[in-house]
Structure formats: structure tokens, C-alpha cells
Amino acid sequence: MVHIYDASCEKCGKFYREEDPDELVEFNGKILCWPCVIDGRKPLENLSAKEMLDLIRMGHPYERGQPYSRMEVIDEIEKRGPALLEQLGWPTSDESVYRNRYTGDERTLRRLKNSYYEEGEKPDWWTEWYELFSIIEHWEPAVGQNLTRLKYLGSQGESMTLQEFAKGGS
């Protein structure tokens, strides 16, 4: 986020100095304060599961012209929990296999949900679905042949035939 100070919001006209708690940002080619960026937007709780998926996969939605911050999207995903996966038509069983969109790596949902902390190490604020945003952003249900993995390994200088790959080679 590019912070802009000692300027006025192009929508409301309010002048902002560096010491102001609110800030100006460049949004869709205009210099706006955050209240003006979010003015009139659809509330996050009213967005569909597909819209939430699209927003989190943007990285920082406001940089792509969407009036939502990444942290707001992450908080909403955490609030919705596994119901969001169900709305996407994705499995919620701990033994469901998910595939990384970039590397083709496959892991169970249980492993993905517990990837940051071991048992006994989890902080008090941690919830079972705390990492759901990361799962939705980087993973999807493993369906069909894992061509993503084959392409990824090829890009890393690894080589194998499709037959070796189909037999579980890595």
C-alpha cells in the first residue's frame, strides 16, 4: 500500500497530514481516504463464496481496484470457516486431499489446517480454521491427474515420463 500524506482526498476533500491516523491511498487512479474507498461497497458478509475466493487470490484486492483490504477478507474467511469450503463445493473432511495450485504438492486437509503449529504449540488465539484463507488462496481439491506437479517439476529441472509420474514418482 502506498501511503500518501500532506494531500487531500479527491472525493471528500479532507486534507491529511503525515500524523493523521487515517491515510490516503491511490485507488483506481485517484487519491482517496479509506472511508471514501469503501463508501458504497457491498458488505463482505454479503459476498458469495466465489467472490471471496476471487478476492483472496488477488493478494491485495484494493491494489486491483476492489474496495477491500486483504486483512478484511482474511477475517471474513475465518468467520465463515468450513461453510465457505462447502459453498465452494470443496470437501471439508480432514482426510480430503488438496493440491497446491503452483507446485502440485498434495496434502490432506488435516495437515493443511495444522501446518503452522504442532500440537501443544498453538497460541491461545489460534482456531482450527485460522489458516483457511491460505488453503483457499493456494490450494484446491485434488481432482484428476496432477499435471501441475509435472509442470512444476519440469520447471525445476526435474524430468520424468508420464508413466513414472503416474506411478507416484517425484
For residues 22 and 99, membership in a common domain is answered with no
Nearest-angstrom CA–CA distance, 57 and 52: 9
Same domain (yes/no): 168, 148: yes
Model pLDDT for residues 138-161, shown as the tens digit of each residue:
999 999 887 777 777 777 666 555
The β-bridge relationship of strands 97-100 and 30-33 is unpaired
As beta bridge partners, residue 30 has 27
Q: Which three cell numbers stand for residue 62?
A: 484494493
Do 82 and 28 have their domain in common?
no
- 4 and 69 in a single domain? The answer is no
Q: What average pLDDT does this structure show over 82-90?
A: 96
Quick one: 6 and 69 in the same domain? Answer: no
Angle CA 19–25–26, to nearest 5 = 145
Q: SS3 of 30, please?
A: strand
Give yes or no: residues 18 and 62 share one domain.
no
Query: Do 54 and 27 sit in the same domain of this protein?
Result: no
Are both 50 and 63 inside the same structural domain? yes
Q: How far apart are CA 102 and CA 43, in angstroms?
A: 31
- Give the CA dihedral 129, 134, 136, 142, nearest 10 degrees: -100
Task: Say yes or no: 62 and 36 in one domain.
Answer: no
**The three grid cell numbers given for residue 58, joined into one nine-digit string:** 488477488
Residue 139 shares a structural domain with residue 163: yes
CB 124 within 8 A of CB 150: no
Q: Which three cell numbers stand for residue 167?
A: 506411478
pLDDT at 170: 47
> What's the confidence (pLDDT) of residue 34?
87
Q: Specify burial of residue 56 (Cβ count, 10 A radius: 0-12, 13-18, 19+).
A: buried
Pair 70, 144 in one domain: yes
Supply angle C-alpha 63, 26, 9, rounded to 5: 140
Domain with 99, as residue range(s), is 43-170
Split into its structural domains, the chain has a count of: 2
Q: pLDDT tens digits, residue range 99-137?
A: 999 988 999 998 888 776 565 666 565 567 778 999 999
Which pTM does this prediction carry?
A: 0.76
pLDDT of residue 74: 94
* pLDDT of 23 over the 90 cut: no
pLDDT confidence of 51, banded at 50, 70, 90? very high
What are residue 132's phi and psi, to 5 degrees? Answer: -55, -40
Across the chain, mean pLDDT equals 84
Residue 112: closest CA among 130, 124, 87: 130
Q: Are residue 10 and residue 72 in the same domain, yes or no? A: no
